Structure 1
Amino acid sequence: MAVGKLWSVTLDCAEAAPLAEFWRAALDGKIAYTSEKFVGVEIPGGPWIGAYSVPGYEPPEWPDGAPPKQFHLDLSVDDLDEAERAVVALGATKAEHQPEPERWRVFLDPAGHPFCVTNMA
């Protein structure tokens, strides 16, 4: 028996508003909640993504480093090249390390969190 269902994933960052705006635009969501340190993005048909401002935030390093990557999001897309152009236009940067770029591509969101676009789903 489940205890509950996944409602949101919250990403730490230096500034919540720009990170939330990136994910809002990338996933066609809407800003659903804002407080002093937190901005919540409601995603159609999925869980929320929250952005939470923390003092002294340091982005993870991809693929390893200090601080190490602890998790990442994977976005299912139809066309890798088209998705790459779209996320870069929104403010993502393409990671140097690309383990299997023909199957998925690694990017860093504006706060430095790694995420992938994949045509595997």
Structure 2
Amino acid sequence: MTVVVASVVVLDCAEPEKLAVFYRELLDAEEVDATANRVEIRAVDGVRLAFRRDVNATPPSWPRPENSLQAHLDFLVEDLDEAERKVVALGGRPLEAKDAAGPYEERGCCDPAGHSFTLRLRRDTAPKQG
């Protein structure tokens, strides 16, 4: 019998309603649950994110070396420029990471509350043979 039926990544933030709108628009997601202190969304591919109110939340400092990166999200995209424009239009911003893995394969960004994520080019994978 399966005990866990779904997983949800939860981001702490001061204003969960506003952060949920950012990710809902970015991922073309729908709101599936909301309380006074938590909003959850589900994207068309089934990814579930929730945003929990923490009035003392402070954004992570990545990529600055004084704090280690605790966690971040990766989003696979077809077009990096288009995805970055959407992030900025929704209130997010690009992050400049020194010595990034590749200039055209991924871009670091953060949401309006300062949580980092990566826009990564989707790679078409051929089926394994043999």
TM-score (norm 2): 0.83
| Corresponding position of 2:76 | 76
SS in 2 for 1:39: strand
| Cα shift readout 1:91-112 (whole Å, capped 9, x = no counterpart) | 1101122513311000010110
| Corresponding position of 2:22 | 22
| Corresponding position of 2:10 | 10
SS in 2 for 1:85: helix
Question: Which residue, 73, 91, 104 being the options, matches 1:102?
Answer: 104
Which whole-Å CA distance do the structure 1 matches of 2:6 and 2:110 have between them?
23
Shift in CA distance, 68/53, structure 1 to aligned 2, threshold 3 Å: farther
Which whole-Å CA distance do the structure 2 matches of 1:77 and 1:33 have between them?
26
| Corresponding position of 2:128 | none
> Given that residues 16 and 38 in structure 1 are in contact (C-alpha distance below 8 angstroms), is that contact kept between their aligned partners in structure 2?
yes
Deviation, 1:66, is: 5.5
| Cα shift readout 1:72-93 (whole Å, capped 9, x = no counterpart) | 1111111111111111111110
Deviation, 1:68, is: 3.6
Which whole-Å CA distance do the structure 1 matches of 2:118 and 2:58 have between them?
20
Which whole-Å CA distance do the structure 2 matches of 1:81 and 1:47 have between them?
23
- Which structure's CA Rg is the greater one? 2
Aligned residues: CA RMSD? 2.0
TM-score (norm 1): 0.88
Give the gaps of 5 or more residues in structure 2. Answer: 124-130
Shift in CA distance, 13/59, structure 1 to aligned 2, threshold 3 Å: same
Alignment-mate amino acid for residue 86 of structure 1: K
Shift in CA distance, 120/43, structure 1 to aligned 2, threshold 3 Å: closer
SS in 2 for 1:88: helix
Which whole-Å CA distance do the structure 2 matches of 1:80 and 1:96 have between them?
15
Alignment-mate amino acid for residue 77 of structure 1: V
| Corresponding position of 1:38 | 38
Which whole-Å CA distance do the structure 1 matches of 2:43 and 2:93 have between them?
22
Identity of paired residues, percent? Answer: 38
Count matched residues: 121
> Given that residues 76 and 119 in structure 1 are in contact (C-alpha distance below 8 angstroms), is that contact kept between their aligned partners in structure 2?
yes
Deviation, 1:17, is: 0.5
